[in-house]
Chain A
């Protein structure tokens, strides 16, 4: 049984302009010790999805199923959900200041969490807190326990947050853009720390990012999200070697890359992401897709196996998915024409 089994998850907000479906029909599974990358543009639904798993988004109507250690998190009573959150599942956010209490020392915040979840005595909890700060690579941990959050730099605060997430030894960590605001050398430190956790503690990690470079080096599987939906889903190696969704091609072609000839101009994705209050009929990427045909406007494609990559590679595109020989293929050579 997988550790996490998300099936047909949806999240809808009621707004003054009408219903906004931020997440729609998302399904995936995760085992212990694995890392799942979630990529997509801003507004594509990454954070709402993670918050839904955490049960931290009361204003949204959730649908589907979130299987976790034999329970469906969506139907658990609040009290049990609270216990799971923080003891079995933990989340780390992009802006650590928003989840650390600025007027309490880091030590107090850590020991509170530890005592709450383990019932440890105060001295035991202190010792454990010190050990956690050391685990996440904070020098002089005993002294730093007495410091307030603002006395730490951005990279160190992010580590404090990871320490806080580890305090109860969770089996699943959701990390939402946690290295986005960090400089590249500090990002490398934090990513190395997370990798150690997944290997040594067998923690499962959901890594939300918009950086395909981070995904390439630090995940086992990837979900590509667009307009609230998963549009491509595969192992990381498969996704980068055989991308099969025009949106993913667009992301790869628009990235400036140090391993490519820089004299060629980048190929941007023109246009803007769909308005989720009024999503387009048919394929949500159609307005921006160079390969769009008539059917793309009239019918929305499902997430289905890629025609030439059956097995585990799923894609939401009429052009590249297997339609039992009934359709056309746009081909897989996406090498985009360079600008005139």
Chain B
């Protein structure tokens, strides 16, 4: 359906600049002091090339979903700029935003969260086509069949209801629904997190195939670093609403430069008893602070084993330390000497 409007290969499809999202805090009799708003996302900037997969990783509450949703204006960001295919989204009228959603779609962890549970899966996949006024009834029916085949569902199942499907099949329905209107940009928010590993692999492979076949630009949100590595071209690590490291995927895994990234990677359990016995995870103390009372200076300093007085006084900006990596740390980790063979993937 909709093809790409980006002909100039060098121009990014998506440009996010200083994006911030605040949620106002209601005043109650119990709580009438303290901050008036919770800052979930702070000054996030990145760009995405056409066809690229960028992942956002970070722990629960770090602002991943809020970032993804703000790009789609669900709800709009509090400040900052999002340009999609050169168009400044904040300059658009609501109707134009709605039209642009044909090109920008979202996949969720719970594929049924936003649909009426009494609709058949055919209706669920068709609904976005009706909302956007695309095609006549017969055309839409043909499109449902095409979409179901594309995501590996039997078209004969379109009259069935969600409760007759397994988790992995429902996620395929969610993906078909997102693809129905022919988007070229997808925000996928933890699409495989709720699935068992055997089924998770099916959906990861499906996403990898679809992004190739349909030349999708994918913003992939997840907390599982092994899953992220499987799909990404670049990875952004977020902490307390800020990007603290963004790097080319293989570089990030082989040579993390931010202490938090290093700790995260060291804590991922490997399914190999010998490897597990041979390594010691970096045990961080405490937990991510509340976004209601973020620390001064570096957001990670309350858990960082390298923190110095400077870290409390000044927040380190996100800055390049190599052609592949930008990091927000006053004292970044040294680059690993060599990137182990087999971890480098030719593009």
A interface residue numbers (CB < 8 A to B): 41-42, 139, 153-156, 183-189, 191-192, 210-218, 236-237, 240-241, 250-259, 261-263, 265-270, 272, 339
Contact = CB atoms under 8 A, between A and B. Distances in A.
B7 interface: no
A184 B264 contact: yes
A268 B201 contact: yes
A42 B196 contact: yes
Given A183-B223, A184-B264, A216 B270 contact: yes
Given A156-B287, A216-B272, A339-B205, 8 more contacts: A183-B60, A216-B275, A217-B273, A256-B227, A257-B270, A265-B205, A268-B200, A272-B199
Contacts of A215: 271
A186 B272 contact: no
Contacts of B267: 184-185, 187-188
Interface stretch (B36-44, B183-191, B278-286, B329-337): B278-286
Interface of B: 59-60, 166, 168, 196-202, 204-205, 208, 223-227, 229-230, 253, 263-265, 267-277, 281, 283-284, 286-287, 342-343, 345-346
B241 to A, nearest CB: 15
A185 B201 contact: no
A156 B270 CA distance: 24
B225 A255 contact: no
A212 B271 contact: yes
Given A183-B59, A265-B208, A258 B276 contact: no
A150 to B, nearest CB: 14
Contacts of A139: 286
25 contacts: A41-B196, A154-B60, A155-B287, A183-B60, A183-B223, A184-B59, A184-B223, A188-B284, A189-B283, A211-B269, A212-B271, A214-B269, A216-B272, A216-B276, A217-B270, A217-B276, A240-B273, A253-B201, A254-B200, A256-B201, A256-B230, A257-B226, A259-B275, A266-B204, A266-B205
Contacts of A183: 59-60, 223
A184 B208 CA distance: 25
Nearest to B58: A183
B196 A256 contact: no
Contact of A261 (B59, B227, B276, B342): B342
Contacts of A262: 229-230, 343, 345
Contacts of B271: 212-213, 215-216, 240, 252, 255, 257
A270 B263 CA distance: 34
Given A153-B287, A256-B230, A258-B226, A185 B263 contact: yes
B270 A192 contact: no
Given A250-B198, A339-B205, A256 B226 contact: yes
Contacts of B270: 213, 216-217, 257-259
A210 B196 contact: yes
Contacts of B227: 256
A111 to B, nearest CB: 25
A240 B286 CA distance: 32
A185 B284 contact: yes
Contacts of A255: 197, 201, 226, 271
A162 to B, nearest CB: 16
Quick one: which of A191, A255, A259, A262 has the most chain B CB within 10 A? A262
